Amino acid sequence: MNENQAIKNLDEIITNIESSRLSLNAHHIVQLVAISKYNTADDIKTLYKCGQRAFGENKVQDLKEKSEILADLPISWHFVGRLQTNKINQLIDLNPVLMHSLESVEMAKELDKRLKVKNKTMNCLLQINSAKEDTKAGVMPQLALETYKNIKKTLSNINLCGVMSIGAHTEDENVIKQSFKTTKEIFDLLKNDGATICSMGMSGDYKLAIELGSNLIRVGSAIFKEN
């Protein structure tokens, strides 16, 4: 991807973010995280030059490799993938600014335990399977409040900052909408428990997600596209 392409992609996405957020509320601020899992460190650098500062990866190994190559740039790195138990220590050592995909109490306990050993904390989001799809990770919506509060109360090295969801995998906009609404309702109920981030929306559905209250979108293919 060259710089002209990167500017074009960013302009398009920023324009869309702007109109979607204004349709919700003039004070609604949306963070854009570029998901670079299918892209090279060079592509990340190109987007960085055009102003993008937050990037996310879904594999610990890729996060390690790319963040090492780009260590001289002040990039905020996010982790958005399924975390394998044998990769937890590596992830902790990489100091991600936010881990979006805490998917169960068991995983949270394991992460908290290893964080305590290293005397560190990690900002995390609880992933909610609001589309209720077998292929998706995350806690079921009816268990989300209880799980969130439980982690918040008992696992002191995990700093829970909010919730994350992947929109329903369908063409049916109403079904996608419903999955986002479910997560937003849970997010609203957790605001008194310190939830400030509602991470939802990807290339195909970020406009809808923002209109329904997302304040962090994770955009991959649309930000790295080549046309």
Phi/psi of residue 29, nearest 5 degrees? -105, 135
Verify binding: residue 130, ligand PLP, rule CB under 6 A: no
User: Residue 106's Cα: distance from chain center in Å?
Assistant: 20
d(CA 57, CA 17): 21
Please tell me whether residue 107 adopts helix, strand or coil conformation: helix
Q: Tell me the closest approach of the beta carbon of residue 127 to ligand PLP, in angstroms.
A: 9
Q: Which is nearer to ligand PLP, 161 or 166 (CB)?
A: 166
Q: Tell me the closest approach of the beta carbon of residue 82 to ligand PLP, in angstroms.
A: 9
Q: Tell me the closest approach of the beta carbon of residue 153 to ligand PLP, in angstroms.
A: 27
Name which of residues 166 to 185 contact ligand PLP (CB under 6 A): 166
Q: Which is nearer to ligand PLP, 11 or 193 (CB)?
A: 11
E strand or H helix at 32, and its extent? Answer: strand 31-35
Q: Which stretch binds ligand PLP (CB under 6 A): 12-20, 21-29, 176-184, 213-221?
A: 213-221
105-117 vs 141-154: helix crossing angle, rounded to 10: 20
Phi/psi of residue 176, nearest 5 degrees? -65, -45
Verify binding: residue 63, ligand PLP, rule CB under 6 A: no
Name which of residues 22 to 41 contact ligand PLP (CB under 6 A): 35, 37
Verify binding: residue 136, ligand PLP, rule CB under 6 A: no
Q: Which is nearer to ligand PLP, 20 or 58 (CB)?
A: 58
Q: Which is nearer to ligand PLP, 80 or 161 (CB)?
A: 80
Nearest to 220 by CA among 18, 81, 73: 81
Nearest to 187 by CA among 133, 114, 130, 121: 130
d(CA 127, CA 159): 14
Q: Judged by CB under 6 A, which of 9, 36, 39, 58 binds ligand PLP? A: 58
- Contact call for residues 20 and 207 (beta carbons, < 8 A): yes
d(CA 120, CA 127): 21
Site size for ligand PLP (CB under 6 A)? 13
Q: Tell me the closest approach of the beta carbon of residue 97 to ligand PLP, in angstroms.
A: 15
Q: Judged by CB under 6 A, which of 4, 150, 156, 221 binds ligand PLP? A: 221
Verify binding: residue 96, ligand PLP, rule CB under 6 A: no
Phi/psi of residue 132, nearest 5 degrees? 50, 45
Binding site for ligand PLP (CB under 6 A): 35, 37, 58, 80, 166, 202-204, 218-222
